[in-house]
Structure 1
Amino acid sequence: MNNVQGGVIQRSFLFVPGNRPERFNKALDSGADAIIIDLEDAVAAEEKAAARTALMQAAFTWPHVLVYVRINAVDTPWFADDLKVLRHAGIRGVFLPKAEHAEEIARVRAHTACCVIPIIETATGLCHAQEVARASGVERLAFGSMDFQLDLNCDGSDTALLYARSQLVVVSRWCGLLAPIDGVTLAMDDEARVAADARHAKSLGMGGKLCIHPRQVGAVNMAWQPTPEEIIWARKVLAASDAAGTNVVAVDGVMIDRPILLKAQRIISRSQGIAGV
């Protein structure tokens, strides 16, 4: 399973509180590749039932935006009731927080055919990431960076979270999943910070990012688009390779071997919005 729609792999995933249905259409119109109706952190305990009702009554009519729901974790009193909203025809899949074991995925899948995106938020979840990623119905992994740094009592810097992010990238690749989704940036009004965080995640091999405000979506989408310089380089490499035929060729003093050629092809494909690369 993968979350590819219309030939484009989803990069930006925008959270919207489940108890704020007036924001659903605004989120769908934000430019995000996908939205996540949140029943977990964004909704107080006394409002969770109302949030579920609002979700079930909503109509999602944007054909090019995927709709997911983040339910509450399996060890919470709201988990069982949250599973009922997955009957909504407009729901593509479910983000499962605090995922640590494959059996948790199975509990979700016993109630729905929706795909599951486990959120790795603890040391236990990271150590069991292979098991979780290989569970039936898993579409992609996500990184819950805020809860993860709380669990580890680390400072949340790029260095502190480098190992975890890289592990999720490697596990996802090994299990044949799309590249994982990075966690949120809390700075809602600092586009430069959002862009820098997204570029860092991309540099490690991550494939998208969670957003908490529509203002973050543009910077996240842009981060996963090849830059003009990358496109120029890729075209130069492909042209030189075509002209050389079977002969060895160099571009800008660098020998063009198979990995370099494949990298150039991937850049061009991504610039054209072709999925699966």
Structure 2
Amino acid sequence: MSPDALRSILFVPATRPERIAKALASPADAVIVDLEDAVAESDKAVARESLDTFLNHNPQARLMVRVNAPGTGHYKSDLALCSRYANVTRLVIPKTESCQALETAATCNKPLWPLIETARGLLALPTLVYVSGVERLSFGALDMGAELGLETGTPGAQQILDQSRYALLIHSRAAGLMAPIESVHPSIEDTAAIAQAAKRAREMGFSGMLCIHPKQLPPINQAFTPSEAEIAWANKVMEGVAQHTGAFSLDGQMVDAPVIARAQGVLAKAKVRAS
């Protein structure tokens, strides 16, 4: 699937290879095999061996990999593994804080997704987004909240985390990157809360969301897919464009270049989803 169309990106621990195939067959738009947070320190080498075996035996499988953080003893070993396989399509770099770390990862010749989840990472955004190989940013709200000492789930914490989201969005757009990817939601069973978080992220300009469980996929996919009403509106706008030169009125609202661009974006997303 085109990277522009990714709505839901599902994490799977590298230590559970039997789950990788299931994840690839799920409604997730992409799968990230995790060598970092989902793997205990004592199991890091085993996780790499397990992923190595899966990739070798399943050359048709297309997946992303979250390597261990730069500065750890596992970073270069993880990159060396991923560089050997063409079916590793992208690298997620956790706790990204420096251009040097990304430049090291870029030697694998794969698109990079820096995961911004620390204060240092936020401060480095003005330079990180211009490193060759960076495709888009992703957000780690849980780690960011822990580092900043926020009280999880409170309005105050939400306000601070939204400022981080603002920074990711602005720097992504300024550098011409794809729209950023929203953080995971901690709830698995509360589909209403997951749907609301995904809807809010879309409203804020994010294009997809990281997932930690297959149950999260349906509400996230729906939230990031244009509705029938949105598609009907966009078609109506484009019909008006064909009949007018310059700005015009539609249902009591002015339609000019920004509105037309939004309508075109809705139809482009709808077309990708249908293909």
Q: TM-score with structure 1 length normalisation?
A: 0.91
Give the match's secondary structure for 1:92: strand
Q: How does 1:138-149 map to 2 (within 5 A)?
A: 138-149=134-145
More helix by share: 2
Q: Partner residue of 1:269?
A: 268
Output the CA distance in 1 between the equivalents of 2:110 and 2:8.
Answer: 20
- Give 1:20 shift: 0.4
Among candidates 126, 130, 142, match of residue 130 of structure 1: 126
Q: Partner residue of 1:46?
A: 42
Letter in 2 for 1:4: S
Q: Partner residue of 2:105?
A: 108
Q: Partner residue of 2:163?
A: 163
Letter in 1 for 2:100: E
Output the CA distance in 1 between the equivalents of 2:247 and 2:127.
Answer: 43
- Give 1:78 shift: 1.6
Check conservation: 1:199, 1:223, Cα contact below 8 A: yes
Give the match's secondary structure for 2:199: helix
- Give 1:270 shift: 1.2
Output the CA distance in 2 between the equivalents of 1:247 and 1:56.
Answer: 57
Identity among equivalent pairs (%): 38
Structure 2: stretches of 5+ with no match in the other structure: none
Residues 200, 60 of structure 1: alpha-carbon distance in 2 compared, 3 angstrom cutoff: farther
Q: Partner residue of 1:253?
A: 252
Q: TM-score with structure 2 length normalisation?
A: 0.91
- Give 1:274 shift: 7.4
Give the match's secondary structure for 1:210: strand
Structure 1: stretches of 5+ with no match in the other structure: none
Output the CA distance in 2 between the equivalents of 1:139 and 1:274.
Answer: 21
CA displacement 1:149-168 (0-9 Å, x = unmatched): 11111234432311110110
Check conservation: 1:28, 1:62, Cα contact below 8 A: no
Letter in 1 for 2:264: Q
Give the match's secondary structure for 2:65: strand
Please tell me whether residue 150 in structure 1 is matched to residue 149 in structure 2.
no
Residues 224, 61 of structure 1: alpha-carbon distance in 2 compared, 3 angstrom cutoff: farther
